[in-house]
Amino acid sequence: MMSYAIEADGLRVVRGGREVVHGLTFKVPRGSVVGLLGPSGCGKTTVMRAVVGVQIVAGGTVTVLGHPAGGRELRRRVGYATQNPAVYADLTVRENLRYFANVLGVPRGDPDRVIEEVGLVDARNQTASSLSGGQLHRASLAIALLGEPELLVLDEPTVGLDPVLRGELWELFHELADGGATLLISSHVMDEAARCERLLLMRDGLLLADDTPEALRATTGTQDLEDAFLRVIQGQETVA
Ligand SMILES: Nc1ncnc2c1ncn2[C@@H]1O[C@H](COP(=O)(O)OP(=O)(O)OP(=O)(O)O)[C@@H](O)[C@H]1O
Average pLDDT for residues 145-164, to the nearest whole number? 92
How confident is the model at residue 83, as a pLDDT? Answer: 86
Listed in order, strand segments (DSSP E) in the chain are 4-15, 18-29, 33-37, 59-64, 67-68, 78-81, 151-155, 182-187, 198-203, 206-211
1 pLDDT more than 60? no
Instruction: Say yes or no: CB of residue 188 within 6 Å of ligand 1.
Output: yes
How confident is the model at residue 161, as a pLDDT? Answer: 84
Using CA atoms, how far apart are residues 6 and 75, in angstroms rounded to an integer?
Answer: 15
| pLDDT digit string, tens, across residues 71-107 | 989 988 999 999 888 899 999 999 999 999 999 999 9
From residue 171, how far is each of 26, 31, 139 by CA, in Å? Answer: 25, 14, 17
What residue owns the CA closest to ligand 1's atom 8? 15
193 pLDDT more than 80? yes
Average pLDDT for residues 100-129, to the nearest whole number? 95
CA 43 – ligand 1 centroid, Å: 6
Q: How many other C-beta atoms are found inside a 10 Å radius of the C-beta of residue 120?
A: 21
How confident is the model at residue 238, as a pLDDT? Answer: 67
240 pLDDT more than 60? no
How confident is the model at residue 239, as a pLDDT? Answer: 59
How confident is the model at residue 221, as a pLDDT? Answer: 92
Using CA atoms, how far apart are residues 124 and 97, in angstroms rounded to an integer?
Answer: 10
Judge contact between 206 and 239, C-beta under 8 A. no
Beta bridge partners of 154: 81, 185
How confident is the model at residue 34, as a pLDDT? Answer: 97
Share of the chain above pLDDT 90, in %: 75
Average pLDDT for residues 194-210, to the nearest whole number? 95
Instruction: Say yes or no: CB of residue 217 within 6 Å of ligand 1.
Output: no
Using CA atoms, how far apart are residues 10 and 31, in angstroms rounded to an integer?
Answer: 23
Instruction: Say yes or no: CB of residue 107 within 6 Å of ligand 1.
Output: no
Confidence of residue 191 (pLDDT cuts 50, 70, 90): confident
Average pLDDT for residues 56-78, to the nearest whole number? 95
Average pLDDT for residues 176-201, to the nearest whole number? 92
Please choose from 21, 36, 42 the residue to mutate so as to test ligand 1's pocket, defined by most ligand atoms within 8 A of CB.
Answer: 42
Confidence of residue 2 (pLDDT cuts 50, 70, 90): low
* Intra-chain end-to-end CA distance of the chain, in Å: 40
How confident is the model at residue 182, as a pLDDT? Answer: 98
Instruction: Say yes or no: CB of residue 174 within 6 Å of ligand 1.
Output: no
Using CA atoms, how far apart are residues 183 and 172, in angstroms rounded to an integer?
Answer: 11
Provide the residue type at 79 as one letter: G
Instruction: Say yes or no: CB of residue 40 within 6 Å of ligand 1.
Output: yes
More confident residue, 40 or 10: 10
CA angle 67, 176, 161 (to 5 degrees): 110
Q: Among 59-63, 148-152, 161-165, 205-209, which is the least confidently predicted range?
A: 161-165
Judged on CB neighbours under 10 Å (0-12, 13-18, 19+), 67 is middle
Using CA atoms, how far apart are residues 203 and 171, in angstroms rounded to an integer?
Answer: 28
47 pLDDT more than 60? yes
From residue 129, how far is each of 124, 133, 161 by CA, in Å? Answer: 12, 10, 18
Judge contact between 13 and 50, C-beta under 8 A. yes
Share of the chain above pLDDT 70, in %: 98
How confident is the model at residue 204, as a pLDDT? Answer: 95
Question: How long, in residues, is the chain?
Answer: 240
How confident is the model at residue 235, as a pLDDT? Answer: 81
CA 144 – ligand 1 centroid, Å: 22
Using CA atoms, how far apart are residues 236 and 152, in angstroms rounded to an integer?
Answer: 30
Phi, psi dihedrals of residue 91, rounded to the nearest 5° = -100, 155
Using CA atoms, how far apart are residues 212 and 43, in angstroms rounded to an integer?
Answer: 20
